[in-house]
């Protein structure tokens, strides 16, 4: 079942903060975050694993509440380059190879 993202769209001015949420109805093993710009490939942002481990290589942060089956992505001091569509993807406990089920996406627009 597809995770649900909120909000569907966010408009910011440079320097403002935003939070994107991702909720699931099933038990999660991991949550992944990707950003996709129009016409381009989705780009990895972060993985949050059950048990608290996080892996990412951008200046962003995220949380993973296993009990509530929710994850949030925190974008602080936004830059123009942050604009794009953000997708969360989930893997369940029974998945042995990282098959991701993605949410419908959150469109983030950052204006000067």
Partner 1 sequence: GAGVSQSPRYKVAKRGQDVALRCDPISGHVSLFWYQQALGQGPEFLTYFQNEAQLDKSGLPSDRFFAERPEGSVSTLKIQRTQQEDSAVYLCASSVFRDRGNGELFFGEGSRLTVL
Q: How far is the CB of 72 from partner 1 (least distance, A)?
A: 17
Instruction: Pick between residue 63 and residue 95 the one whose CB is nearest to partner 1.
Output: 95
* Closest C-alpha to 98, from 30, 44, 39, 41: 30
What is the sign of the dihedral through the CA atoms of 89, 44, 99 and 30? negative
Using CA atoms, how far residue 16 sits from 19, 36, 60, in Å, is 11, 20, 14
Distance CA(97)–CA(101), nearest Å, equals 12
Q: How far is the CB of 87 from partner 1 (least distance, A)?
A: 5
Q: Which residues pair with 89 in a beta bridge?
A: 32, 102
Q: How far is the CB of 67 from partner 1 (least distance, A)?
A: 18
Q: How far is the CB of 111 from partner 1 (least distance, A)?
A: 21
Instruction: Pick between residue 19 and residue 56 the one whose CB is nearest to partner 1.
Output: 56
Instruction: Pick between residue 16 and residue 83 the one whose CB is nearest to partner 1.
Output: 83
Which stretches of the chain bind partner 1, using CB under 8 A?
2, 29-30, 32, 34, 39-44, 47, 49, 53, 55, 87, 89, 91, 95-105
């Amino acid at each position: 079942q597809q995770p649900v993202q909120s909000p569907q769209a966010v408009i910011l001015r440079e320097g403002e903060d935003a939070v994107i949420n991702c909720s699931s109805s099933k038990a999660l093993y991991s949550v992944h975050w990707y950003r996709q710009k129009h016409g381009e490939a989705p780009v990895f942002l972060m993985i949050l694993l059950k048990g608290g481990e996080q892996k990412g290589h951008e200046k962003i942060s995220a949380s993973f509440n296993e009990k509530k089956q929710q994850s949030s992505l925190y974008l602080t001091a936004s830059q123009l380059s942050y604009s794009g569509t953000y997708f969360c993807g989930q893997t369940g406990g029974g998945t042995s190879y990282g098959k991701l089920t993605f949410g419908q996406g959150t469109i983030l627009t950052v204006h000067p």
